[in-house]
Amino acid sequence: MLIVAAVALVLLAFGLPLWIRTEDLPEPEPVSPTQHLDDRAASLYENLRDLQGEYLMGKLSDEDYKSTKQDVQRELARVKAEIATIEGGAVKEAKA
C-alpha cells in the first residue's frame, strides 16, 4: 500500500507540470537595456575592493596599485558614461 502511494505521488509530481498551460505562466520581466553594463560596473567595483585589499596586504607595490587602480577607474567611468547615455536616450524617447 505504501509503495502504491509513493508511486502515485511520484507520477503526480512528474505529471503535474505537463498540465500547466502557457497562458497560466506569468509574463517575464522586461530585460533592462543597461543590465549588462550594470553587471560590468558591479564587477569593476568588486575589482577595486579586491585591489585595495591586496595592496593593504602588501601583495602589490605602490606603482602597480596606482596604475591598476587608474585603469579600473577609467573603465568604470566609461561604463558609467555609457549607462548615462543609454538612460538619457531612453528618457528623451519617453518624453517625445
pLDDT digits (tens, 9 = 90+) for 18-63: 877 788 788 888 888 899 999 999 999 999 999 999 999 999 999 9
Cα distance between residue 80 and residue 86, in whole Å: 10
H helix runs in the chain, sequence order: 2-15, 35-56, 62-95
Sequence-separated (6 or more) residues with CB below 8 Å from residue 79: 37, 40, 41, 44
- Tell me the one-letter amino acid at 16: L
**What's the predicted TM-score (pTM) here?**
0.65
Q: Pick the more confident residue, 93 or 86.
A: 86
Question: Would you say residue 67 has pLDDT above 80?
Answer: yes
Give the model's pLDDT for residue 16: 78
Give the model's pLDDT for residue 90: 60
Q: Is 26 helix (H, G, I), strand (E, B) or coil?
A: coil
Cα distance between residue 81 and residue 88, in whole Å: 10
